[in-house]
């Protein structure tokens, strides 16, 4: 079975993007998904002053896991229209190990927000930067109006149309086919 690495670009333990990612992992239990939690790692703000003697252990481990995986699912919050400073810091550290740290792997980008756009502005930015970092974007999904469309208690999307969109995106990712080539009839119900 293919190993998938999943991580969030938020350091907030109650992050809605973390919850969205957790729901994806939970509903796809039949896949070998390693949900990497970086919030318990010591990852200082990147500075050239640390190099070449220090790279955080959590970053070295994440890079190794990406290399050994089939692909990466990344959930990214939006702060002022951009990816979070926390995610930018992870990216800065990973790029020290290898500029194209996604190593040619397929990537699925996720985001959510309380607002209607679902943090899609920063997803667009990340989508454009992925090839620069060695990632192959298979799909992206943003869940708008998080609190109206998601049950935190059940850890799942409650809106069937949104659930179907996420299923379609995940299907494109695991098939290593860009979402534009996946027809709705191709998607296995419930993933």
Tens of pLDDT, residues 84-135: 999 999 999 999 999 999 999 999 999 999 999 888 889 999 999 999 999 9
Q: Per-residue pLDDT for 42 more than 60?
A: yes
Q: For 163-178, what is the mean pLDDT?
A: 93
d(CA 73, CA 21): 8
List beta partners, residue 140.
Answer: 109
The burial of 8, by beta-carbon neighbours within 10 Å (0-12 exposed, 13-18 middle, 19 or more buried), is given as buried
pTM, rounded to two decimals: 0.91
Q: Per-residue pLDDT for 183 more than 90?
A: no
Residues 6+ apart with CB under 8 A from 153: none
Q: Which of 38, 56, 40, 136 lies closest to 94 in space, CA to CA?
A: 56
d(CA 2, CA 93): 26
């Amino acid at each position: 079975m293919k190993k998938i690495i999943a991580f969030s670009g938020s350091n907030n333990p109650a992050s809605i993007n973390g919850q969205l990612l957790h729901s994806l992992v939970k509903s796809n239990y039949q896949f070998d998904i390693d949900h990497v939690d970086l919030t318990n790692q010591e990852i200082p703000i990147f500075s050239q002053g640390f190099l070449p003697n220090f790279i955080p252990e959590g970053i070295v481990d994440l890079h190794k896991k990406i290399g050994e995986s089939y692909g990466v699912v990344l959930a990214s919050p939006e702060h002022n229209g951009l990816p979070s400073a926390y995610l930018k810091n992870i990216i800065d550290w990973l790029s020290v190990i290898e500029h194209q740290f996604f190593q040619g792997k397929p990537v699925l980008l996720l985001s959510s927000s309380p607002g209607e756009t679902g943090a899609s502005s920063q997803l667009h930015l990340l989508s454009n930067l992925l090839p620069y970092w060695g990632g192959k974007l298979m799909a992206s999904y943003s869940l708008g109006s998080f609190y109206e469309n998601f049950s935190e208690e059940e850890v799942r999307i409650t809106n069937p149309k949104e659930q179907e969109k996420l299923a379609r995106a995940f299907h494109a990712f695991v098939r290593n086919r860009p979402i534009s080539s996946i027809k709705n009839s191709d998607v296995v119900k419930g993933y």
